[in-house]
Structure 1
């Protein structure tokens, strides 16, 4: 074999070896559910800064994955931009509007709708601080990238996400959760891996509450549990038991209220469930 042909073959082999590796990381790839309450899962350069409508809100993981959430009242379009060194890429997404029904719940104890007792109000203020700290958790993980499972093996949806609530005849804020009815004691399972950001067994409104951090400010919440099987700071894997279905807190029957937040935005967790 001539030296020139040998050099060409070696060069071609090097290109073939390097090509697929470099092609794995796109400038900006976005998939997901581009609707109010939905999300975008992105892939870009490792550790790139992520801007949403011009505001730096997050950073991609070491593998280049990131998530962006769209609130219930998200505008009709959202611009997502990534920046790394002197490189940048951006896309503008059209966000479809949601259709949110009204649900009414009667028979709740007045203290869970419009509390007035000073001692109870002080307790609620202390619990707000705990929940705020839990939702502020920011791990660098990207456990969201493979989608979620439902947190119960069997359930019946009794209240959809985003519904306008009327409690004891009084209009309340929208319901930022999905109510999944199931028998008392049904295991509540982690829909994806994460770190427990909060585990409180007896909050006034939420009852037994677990917050699970899936990375980059994407937090899921599990309300009204009768028993908790995890502790704050614990790492959990997909399918691990977080606790048991109950009716603690503001609840009229055994069910799990499943919620999701990305930073200060309320998201529909069912939209991340793998089909």
Structure 2
């Protein structure tokens, strides 16, 4: 039995030995495969933004009493009708056209560019107004003269101040919701009697404003952005008055007001409330008198300042 067991075990061992696989043949030596080189980053190149140069040009509302708007690089200079103007940071210079501007206005730029503007002629009418209070045409009593003198100083001081602003670049809107009662430009002859002396009087002047027939208390709103440089409830000829400096030498004047809702130094945007219409100062009835004066910012004297037509400013479109 033990022999049979050993014989069987020997047979099993031989069988197992026969079943074992031979040792594997060593693989031949292989040359190592080099690693792929790491990608090299391309150096970044900055894309230069092309510099946009503003080509010198002039346009605007080309009518006597209108406004010329010239565009060019800030800090450069234009000469328009012999008047030198420096281009503002906004890229414009603005030049008022008087009611006697010539039919052709020349302009030049310090780059050498130049051109001519064809200016349309005005056709203003003549009007006579009777039954006027002569004391409002001319100050007669000592008290009236003192009041008129104080008012004149306030106006002159205000017109001598200049503030930055867009001028006419954002366009203008009507300052009151009321129909036109008298345009800018007609020559007016006033006749009447003095309440102080009983003497008759006669005076002729050119209407330098744009009148709107508004009942007392109608809201007056800013026609364009600006800084209030005068707010007075009682100037002699003008009555309640607000001056609004739009920049580029343009000042809006609102007269005959019953209430003033702003103060000097206030900054306002288009549509902000300024005042309410009235019947104060030199007037024959309730209305709003809106005037716009152009002043050369680079002139020391104010003798060359003049009024332009507010209605023409309403034709301007805001700059894009």
Report TM bin, short chain. 0.7 to 0.9
The answer to whether structure 1 residue 206 and structure 2 residue 242 are counterparts is no
SS of residue matched to 2:257? strand
- Hey, what's the Cα distance between the residues in 2 that align with 1:192 and 1:143? 8
Q: Which residue of the partner structure matches residue 62 of structure 1?
A: 89
Q: In 2, are the aligned partners of 1:59 and 1:216 still within 8 Å (CA)?
A: no
Q: In 2, are the aligned partners of 1:103 and 1:159 still within 8 Å (CA)?
A: no
More strand by share: 1
SS of residue matched to 2:293? strand
**Cα deviations across residues 215-268 of structure 1 (Å, max 9, x unaligned)?**
121111001010001111111111001100101001121110010111102100
Unaligned runs of at least 5 residues, structure 2: 1-41, 193-201, 296-304
Q: Which residue of the partner structure matches residue 31 of structure 2?
A: none
Instruction: Determine which of 189, 194, 212 is the counterpart of 2:221.
Output: 189
Count, aligned residues: 257
How far residue 134 of structure 1 moved from its aligned partner, in angstroms, is: 1.5
Larger deviation: 219-228 or 111-120? 111-120
- Hey, what's the Cα distance between the residues in 1 that align with 2:209 and 2:157? 19
The answer to whether structure 1 residue 271 and structure 2 residue 312 are counterparts is yes
TM score, norm. by length of structure 1: 0.87
How far residue 32 of structure 1 moved from its aligned partner, in angstroms, is: 1.5
The answer to whether structure 1 residue 32 and structure 2 residue 96 are counterparts is no
Q: In 1, are the aligned partners of 2:167 and 2:250 still within 8 Å (CA)?
A: no
**Cα deviations across residues 15-61 of structure 1 (Å, max 9, x unaligned)?**
xx31xx514x22x22221111101112211102233232232x3221
SS of residue matched to 1:146? coil
- Hey, what's the Cα distance between the residues in 1 that align with 2:228 and 2:109? 29
More helix by share: 1
Q: In 2, are the aligned partners of 1:136 and 1:217 still within 8 Å (CA)?
A: no
Instruction: Determine which of 99, 103, 106 is the counterpart of 1:76.
Output: 103
Higher-Rg structure is 2
- Hey, what's the Cα distance between the residues in 2 that align with 1:52 and 1:42? 9
Q: In 2, are the aligned partners of 1:35 and 1:96 still within 8 Å (CA)?
A: yes
Q: In 2, are the aligned partners of 1:66 and 1:142 still within 8 Å (CA)?
A: no
Q: Which residue of the partner structure matches residue 158 of structure 1?
A: 181
Q: In 1, are the aligned partners of 2:137 and 2:203 still within 8 Å (CA)?
A: no
Q: Which residue of the partner structure matches residue 247 of structure 2?
A: 215
- Hey, what's the Cα distance between the residues in 2 that align with 1:49 and 1:233? 29
RMSD: 2.1
- Hey, what's the Cα distance between the residues in 2 that align with 1:95 and 1:265? 17
SS of residue matched to 2:211? strand
Q: Which residue of the partner structure matches residue 76 of structure 2?
A: 48
Instruction: Determine which of 127, 135, 138 is the counterpart of 1:103.
Output: 127
TM score, norm. by length of structure 2: 0.75
Q: In 1, are the aligned partners of 2:167 and 2:248 still within 8 Å (CA)?
A: no
**Cα deviations across residues 181-239 of structure 1 (Å, max 9, x unaligned)?**
11211110001100111111111110011111111211110010100011111111110
- Hey, what's the Cα distance between the residues in 1 that align with 2:264 and 2:188? 31
